[in-house]
Amino acid sequence: MFMMAAETIDGKAVAKGIEDEVRAAIGELGFAPALVAVRVGNDAASEIYVRNKAKKAQELGLRGTELIFDASLSEAALLAEVERLNRDDDVDGILVQLPLPRQIDPRKVIDAIDPAKDVDGFHPTNVGLLHLGRPTLPPCTPAGVIRLLDAAGISIEGARAAVVGRSDIVGKPVAALLLQRHATVTICHSRTRDLAAVTREADILIAAIGRPLFVTAEMVKRGAAVIDVGVNRVDAAFAERLAHDEAKSRALAKNGYATVGDVDFARVREVAGWITPVPGGVGPMTIAMLMKNTVAAARRRRA
């Protein structure tokens, strides 16, 4: 029997809609909220992420600023900088890009950010409010996942959802958001027995484990919505595993590497009903939701 391939959920298009909402909200505020992104060290990925966040903020009419410090910066000095930003009434949103150099405890830094300015949604106060189902600044990637499901018209209420990965940044908060929308949620992890049996029961499958091509077609319920949060760079060692994916194989041959998700996209799309690509799925949503959080923080602080 002939089966249609899954509908690809275009994260770029959905993110553009959120960006339009942000522009409109800034117009209603009557001023440009200020977002400050702090980076310590020269991690290449962090440099790109922070630059993209600041650039997008400026494109949308926010005031986006980068603060860049040498990798030798002490924990005390970074905490002092965070406190300065907390006290600055002109700053609406603060994010400190992870990872940080080993001499700095990221938990201390996150805990030091004013929860009202914590646009990443990582502060324990905001995490607690999220899990209690109260208004807060939600973590950007999990909030983006929910928006993608809504944009695709996927019903969350009453659905069985499986979240593969239990990180504080994605797995746990996206599970909380799905629960708030009345899904029945299972959080899976490295000690989950017969993982494939669990994921095959899911109407909504969120892959956020950080392992390239981990979710295979055999793990997916036919017609399920599959949201791939993973971003992994793989090299020639993955050539055989990517042989069935023409686009990724070409990228690997051309660049010496390919960017893949936690889901085997080419095969899973033949089983799933909806699927997000990597790149172009969840990634654009994370930055868009960060901008939305910054505007929300500015509004709340001045209410």
Q: What residues are annotated to the active site? A: 53, 97, 120
Contact at 8 Å (CB) between 289 and 121? no
3-state secondary structure of 68: strand
Q: Return all residues near 66 (Cβ < 8 A) that are at least 6 apart.
A: 37, 39, 50, 51, 54
Run of H or E residues at 246: helix 246-255
CB burial of residue 262 (10 Å; 0-12, 13-18, 19+): buried
Run of H or E residues at 184: strand 184-188
User: By C-alpha distance, which of 19, 18, 57 is closest to 37?
Assistant: 57
φ and ψ at residue 94, rounded to 5 degrees: -125, 130
Contact at 8 Å (CB) between 86 and 78? no
**Which residue intervals of 88-213 are DSSP H helices?**
106-112, 124-132, 140-151, 171-180, 195-199
For residue 192 the two structure tokens come to 């989950």
Query: Interhelix angle for 282-301 vs 44-60, to 10°?
Result: 60
For residue 110 the two structure tokens come to 């996150």
How many helices (H) and strands (E) the chain has is answered by 11, 11
CA 232, CA 227: separation in Å to the nearest integer? 15
